[in-house]
Structure 1
Amino acid sequence: MANSVKFRLKLLIDEKRNKVVLAEAKQDFVDVLISLLTIPMDMGIGHFETEACKTMLTDLRSTKDIHRKRLKMNMSSTNPSKFFVCPSFFKSDSYGHSAYSNFKNTRCSCGALMTSQIQVPEEEQVEKLIGNKEDGVFVNCRSSFIVTDDLKVTSNSIGVLMKVLNDRGYAGFSDLQETLIDVGFEEVRSLLGCLLSSEAALTCTFLKKTRMMRNLRMLSPPAPKNVKVCSVEVYVRKIDREILYAECNGDFVDYLLSFLVHPLELACSLSNDNTILGCVGNLCTSPCRGEASKSLLLPRIYSCSNNNLLDYDYQSTTYECLIGKSYSSCEVARSISRLPIAGEKAVSLYPSNPKIKSGTSSGYGTGFMKKNTKFIVSNDLTITPMNTSSTIGLLKKLQVDISDLEKYQINISKVELISILRASLISSSALTKGLSNLLVKKPKEEA
């Protein structure tokens, strides 16, 4: 069980300042630490375009899922991928329904639910395995490592140790206490929480010290063409210019939901000046990371036709399938070299789009949310479908008079979406932090 695994760390602690200066760790712990960059974000919501959309976003998938399973401790709770086909797949000589889905409640083009499960070996689900048992999965050497308080990771050596101490103002070990600790699942989970919110993740985790974060300044996202992608109405409290909520359609919510599938390293590295929040940037640039672990391909099932927010690449896999003479079994692989024998049929299996509703063309139903539906998005990105009870309940909860609110119509481009994304990682006021620069104060009306 991953929850029972323990790692032994050696901490150097400045007791006078109540601060962890550095940790000495073995390869297996650093491998798990680097793997945190590959875990997608998560949240829950209703009112999806299809039932499969709900499953997709409550059971998030990553192209690194199988690789993380090879770690001594896997911090993601993803279940093994399952593969489903239409029940007609084994019954028809034409094999017209030759699509597969990783979600049981996906509808086939014929209207039937894909409920027949087929087995795809794990080694066939990845193009190639990264790393190895000796050197690690996400790291590329088997030495011990020095991990600083802000999670700069380097291979251990006397020279590195001396430089780290010297850079932090220590002439030697006289002011430092050496402590051995055992680190388990809960400690690593706490460390994950400190990645974005603290500049001193080890101190925050192991000394239970209040998280130390630099003052949040206006984030500097990349500067793509400032093309409008959607429009929202935001309601601003006059006294402090706080955005309390936004009214929007399903397109804007699709953009927000697409944030969930981003691995932390992708979500945090979107900046012209390489500003990366918390300690994530130090992990991203660690020289011990293997090149293969840096691939940022996302599963194609999460792509939306109107929603390529960050212009990232997607990965989808087509399989070859040999169906046996009995029509009840099949062999699935990326490529099957042998020719079918008497009674066998060879079929190509391509990935189905779980977001498309039965009876619609491929140009429709390609987002997560139901179209022509209005939503309310609060400052902390809580999403609810708009109705009378939701609007009244929100205003009561906020305890704000209608006269204290101003309404703004805002055009949202990729720049603003990236700003909201980055703000959401460290703040409960994501809309205000991400969109406040678009709010032009309205002139006072003359009496």
Structure 2
Amino acid sequence: MANEKKINIRLLIDKEKNKVLFAESDKDFVDLLFSFLTLPIGTIITLANKETNLGCMDKLYQSVEALDHQYFQTEVCKQMLLLPRSASEDIHPCMFENVKCLCGKIMNSTLELGWNTYFEDDKLNCAFVNGIGKFMITDALEVSTLSAKTSLSILFGFGINDGTTLEVKNISVGLEEVMDLLKQSMLSKTPMTDVFLLKQNEINTEAIIAKPLNVMFQSDTKRVNLDLFVRKSDKKVLYAVAKADFLDFLFSFLTFPMGSVVELFGGSSSIGSIDNIYKSVEGLYHIDPEKLERSKDRLLHPKIASQHGCKNQLLQIEENTGMIYISKCSHCFKNGLVDICCRHGLDRAELSLINPKFIDTVTLKGGGFIRDSMVFMITDELVVELYSQISSISYLNKQCVPFSDLEERSVTVGEQEALSLLKASLTSKTALTSVFCQSSKKRTRG
């Protein structure tokens, strides 16, 4: 595209190994990398045309896409899962289509409630990183401020003692490169080399091997029940049967910002190079807090966007509550029914969106995405469809599983199982088996 904005960076390349050692850039490129942490998983899958290869997530997304609207609480619920907003967008005009305003009319306009009145300095225009300066980004997306000591240590680490094998390359990063870099950041430990030198999107399986969970769990979390149908001969989960409460939890993965996923796993998500971006934010803030003064929490503790949370959430992830903009219908604008009290101070700007997960017009939080009366079948790869006896029998026939080799198990999913399932969904093609059968084998052996 002729008017497409480009970001210029410089690469230092090891010619013999055809590998990016590191890049130099202004803050624009760093802002771009940091923005990956704010993107919900569903948005990433959308941007990647449903080809992220992130465990079972593409299949989960496609299942939401394929389900009929009648199985959701409202038509907007499906839209919220397929096109989830980022909490960072809550400072911008936002509106759900086909949702009723409190006055009863359909919302069709947005009102700006004076954001620029409070922040008229240049810091608002800096995205995530404040100020000016150069940054160094390694092949694995580790970001640091530019210094001779840092760059030399990297060169010595690669066994490079002189510049005869080195090459400098100037790169213009446009939309295509951004999309490739986003995708590879989820899959690879060498995304810069993959995108700018190899021009490939191959999966580095070493980069997505899940590590054991090392997090603290609460004992008073919610729990949901799940029926598993397991092939006895190899302990593989063929499918599960679950009600709406489990589907709400499972589909809610699509609303999670990537940074919140890393935070849930204590900075060790095993997802490509995303952990390095997250730790780079921590490192930069520790060295120079002013560089990330306004954005640290948005990057290190990103929340689910307003009204995207659900009552059946099993994990400790927050929903954004502070709003600067509120959607109203044109009827309210015309009749002066819009509350603009937040112009008098940010402490009074806690506004709430109408919750589109409810049929009635309410501003309550929570609610669910799926109708309570629904029962679904979920395969090991997280393909979801409405449950029926005939469908389940047909699936078993396709898998060539004799009924005598089938075992039914009932399991309870709490916070620990929920977190394991999130990790398996991102790093495995057999999510249910990874969580519910492999772990049971380990307990038996112990």
- Scaled by the length of structure 1, the TM-score of the pair is 0.77
The 1:380/1:291 distance shift into structure 2, 3 A limit, reads farther
Q: How far apart are 1:435 and its partner, in Å?
A: 3.0
Q: 2:96 aligns with which of 88, 96, 103?
A: 103
Q: Distance in 1 between matches of 2:384 and 2:121?
A: 38
Gaps of 5+ in 2: 43-60, 286-291
Tell me how far 1:63 sits from its aligned partner: 1.8
Higher strand share: 1
**Residue in 1 that maps onto 2:422:** 421
Alignment of 1:71-220 (within 5 A): 81-82=93-94, 102-107=95-100, 114-121=105-112, 124=115, 132=123, 136-206=126-196, 207-208=198-199, 210-212=202-204, 213-214=206-207, 216-220=209-213
Q: Where does residue 86 of structure 1 map in the other structure?
A: none
What's the offset of the Cα at 1:133? 6.8
State whether structure 2 residue 402 is matched by structure 1 residue 401.
yes
Contact 1:419/1:434 (8 A) holds in 2: yes
Task: Write the letter of the residue equivalent to 1:380.
Answer: E
Task: Name the one with the larger helix percent.
Answer: 2
Give the direction of change, closer, same or farther, for the CA distance of 1:354–1:398 in structure 2 (3 Å limit).
Answer: same
2:382 corresponds to: 381
Quick one: distance in 1 between partners of 2:260 and 2:3? 27
Distance 1:381 1:125 in 2: 44
Whole-Å separation in 2 of the counterparts to 1:310 and 1:3:
42
Q: Which amino acid in the other structure matches residue 356 of structure 2? A: P
Structure 2: distance between partners of 1:130 and 1:369: 44
Instruction: State the distance in 2 between where 1:259 and 1:361 align.
Output: 23
- Measure how far apart 1:324 and its partner are: 10
User: 1:48 Cα deviation (Å)?
Assistant: 0.8
Alignment check: 8 A CA contact 2:267 2:279 kept: no
Other-structure match for 1:246? 240
Contact persistence 2:261–2:269 (CA under 8 A): no
Residue number in structure 1 paired with 2:33: 33
Q: What residue number does 1:222 align with?
A: 215
Query: Which residue identity lines up with residue 340 of structure 2 in the other structure?
Result: A
1:181-330 equivalent positions in 2, closer than 5 A: 181-206=171-196, 207-208=198-199, 210-212=202-204, 213-214=206-207, 216-226=209-219, 227=221, 229-271=223-265, 274=268, 276-286=270-280, 287-288=283-284, 290-293=292-295, 294-295=297-298, 296-307=302-313, 309-317=315-323, 327-328=334-335
Letter of the 2:72 partner, please give it.
Answer: F
Q: Distance in 1 between matches of 2:315 and 2:216?
A: 13
| Structure 1 contact 200–211 (Cα < 8 Å) conserved | no
User: What whole-Å deviation, never above 9, does each CA across 1:361-398 have from its counterpart, x for those lacking one?
Assistant: 979x9211110211111222222111245324433443
Partner of 1:355: 357
CA distance in 2: counterparts of 1:2 and 1:385, whole angstroms: 46
Shift, 1:328, TM fit: 4.0
Q: Which has the higher contact order (CA 8 A, sep 6+)?
A: 2
Distance in 2 (alpha carbons) for counterparts of 1:132 and 1:257: 36
Aligned mates of 2:207, 2:354 — CA distance in 1: 45
CA contact 1:11–1:178 (8 Å) conserved in 2: yes
Any conservation in 2 of the 1:196–1:280 contact (CA below 8 Å)? yes
* Matched pairs, number: 399
Displacement of 1:299: 2.7
Measured in 2, the distance between the counterparts of 1:429 and 1:131 equals: 48
Question: Structure 1 residues 399-408 or 242-251, which shifts more?
Answer: 399-408
- Cα offsets for 1:408-428 (capped at 9, x unmatched): 211111111111112222332
**Does the CA-based 8 Å contact 2:324-2:351 persist in structure 1?**
yes
Give the match for residue 342 of structure 1.
none
Cα pair 2:40 2:255 within 8 Å, conserved: yes
TM-score if structure 2 supplies the norm length? Answer: 0.77
Match of 1:16 in 2: 16
Equivalent AA in structure 2 for residue 262 of structure 1: F
8 Å CA contact 2:230–2:408 kept in 1: the answer is yes
CA distance in 2, matches of 1:273, 1:105: 39
Match of 2:73 in 1: 49
* More divergent stretch after superposition (140-149 vs 309-318): 309-318
- Residue 155 of structure 1, CA deviation: 1.5
Deviations 1:59-98 (A, max 9, x none): 311221277xxxxxxxxxxxx744xxxxxxxxxxxxxxxx
- In structure 1, how many angstroms separate the alpha carbons of the residues matched to 2:427 and 2:443? 29
- Name the aligned partner's letter for residue 14 of structure 2: D
Shift of 1:126: 11
Query: How far does residue 128 in structure 1 lie from its aligned partner after superposition?
Result: 6.4
- Quickly say closer, same or farther: Cα 1:243–1:159, change in 2 above 3 A: same
